[in-house]
Structure 1
Amino acid sequence: MPTEHVHSRTGRRLRTEEKIISAAADLFLEFGYKTTTVRGIAKRAEVSVGRVMAAGDKDVLLVRCYDRWIGQLQSGTYTLPARARALTEATQSARTGARPAATSAVQNHLVEIFLPFLEFFAAHEDLSRDYAAALMRVVGKPQVFETLAADLQDKLSSSLVSIGISEAYARASAVALYDSYLGILFRWAASDMSLNEATEALSDSIAFHTQLRRPV
């Protein structure tokens, strides 16, 4: 039947795109953005160069890879490499030692929500800088600005409500925190900011937004 044929063709296309994104992700992590080529992605995915280009150019593929990685980080299914875990332990130790009494349990919890993303950027700084640049060039709406953003904002909002902040203010603060997080990542990409400095900047924003706020 025609409908079954269309569904079968769509399924094959999606499976091929999945192979391409997986191949691109492996090569980007292994060799970086600049060294990775469309031809190399095609060879790794065992498809034609034209099929890769149909899925997107290098900028689009990098953004789609980051959408996947960020989704995995949010769901807890991504395993950070050993280098990132070492950076995380050092950052947590420095943050705890620097301000042991200045943060509440909720503030620390909110920092922990963001920490996997900061860790990932720290583990792949050059690639993340290329990602930030690609975001400025790609036309469209990456998931990081849509479904992934909404999911993370829901998690932040729930945490804020749990300490007595009204739902309206919690939702607004969750959006502001997400925007702060993105701003810090772009600052990081354009400077020599360290993981610890990025975490501290985000902690300061969280401290402000975790003040109890209720409608007047």
Structure 2
Amino acid sequence: MASEHVQLRSGKRRQTEDRIIGAAAELFLDRGFKATTIRAIAKAAEVSVGRVMAVGDKDAILVRCFDRWIGQLQDGTYTPPPRRASLSERGSLSERGSSTAAGAVGVRAGAGASPRDTGPSRPSSAVQRHLLELFLPFLEFFAEHEDLSRDYAAAMMRVKGEPEVFNTLAADLQSRLSESLVSIGINEDHARSSAAALYDSYLGILFRWAATTMSLDDAVEAMLASIVFHTRIRSSL
């Protein structure tokens, strides 16, 4: 009986934490990091301020929110919240995202194309396209929520502990990357090393993006350059 009671309390605590993180996620996306208060999160989650603080401060909660968003992006379950921007702003964002994705993933190295037509900005193989497409949802999410992503990068430097982006989320995406690299003939050891390097490149790009005037196009270009290096160099080993 005691064990069942402990499990019940633990389950309720997890449900409450999930509700707090869910409420915080909606507020952060709607209002931004600085305008969202712990009191507002508590009100939205229908819990006390102390219960929110038991989950963590604003930095820790923002990191937990990004862990949730990144996990949803990786497993394909992320659903964007209703946008409240003007029609003109939505059109501008949509046009920017679609043109970047099309330009990055589009391949000129098809029928009639010469090797000179392909460069770091164009994937030259199906595997390179696939690898880039694994990263695009995250890059586009950061572009869509650029200010919040900068706050996230700063929070990561202040929060103690290891976010899921360095643990289970990293292991899952690196496994997918490694499988793709093996599929083009790279041996498993090199594939695992390259997958880890690509993941570190992706995190480095996000932090550089947060600290500079880097654009989505620049981020995609940098990610693709790393992909091209690892698929071309490693495949010859």
1:118 touches 1:195 (CA, 8 Å); kept in 2? Answer: yes
**Distance of aligned partners of 1:159 and 1:85 in 2 relative to their CA distance in 1, 3 Å threshold:** farther
RMSD between aligned alpha carbons? 1.7
Match of 1:28 in 2: 28
Whole-angstrom CA distance in 2 between matches of 1:85 and 1:215: 39
Match of 1:129 among 140, 150, 159: 150
Count, aligned residues: 215
Whole-angstrom CA distance in 1 between matches of 2:227 and 2:145: 25
Match of 2:132 among 100, 107, 111: 111
**Distance of aligned partners of 1:167 and 1:203 in 2 relative to their CA distance in 1, 3 Å threshold:** same
1:161 touches 1:167 (CA, 8 Å); kept in 2? Answer: yes
Identity of aligned residues (%): 66
Matched, 1:203 2:211: no
Matched, 1:87 2:96: yes
| Letter of the structure 2 residue corresponding to residue 106 of structure 1 | V
Aligned pairs (5 A) from 1:1-216: 1-80=1-80, 83=90, 85-95=94-104, 100-101=108-109, 102=118, 103-211=124-232, 213=234
TM-score (norm 2): 0.86
Whole-angstrom CA distance in 2 between matches of 1:96 and 1:51: 45
| Letter of the structure 2 residue corresponding to residue 93 of structure 1 | A
Q: What's the offset of the Cα at 1:89?
A: 1.1
| Letter of the structure 1 residue corresponding to residue 144 of structure 2 | A
**SS in structure 2 of the partner of residue 35 of structure 1:** coil
Gaps of 5+ in 1: none
Q: What's the offset of the Cα at 1:21?
A: 0.3
Whole-angstrom CA distance in 2 between matches of 1:74 and 1:87: 22
**SS in structure 2 of the partner of residue 34 of structure 1:** coil
Gaps of 5+ in 2: 84-89, 110-117, 119-123
TM-score (norm 1): 0.94
Whole-angstrom CA distance in 1 between matches of 2:192 and 2:232: 14
**Distance of aligned partners of 1:6 and 1:53 in 2 relative to their CA distance in 1, 3 Å threshold:** same
Match of 2:115 in 1: none
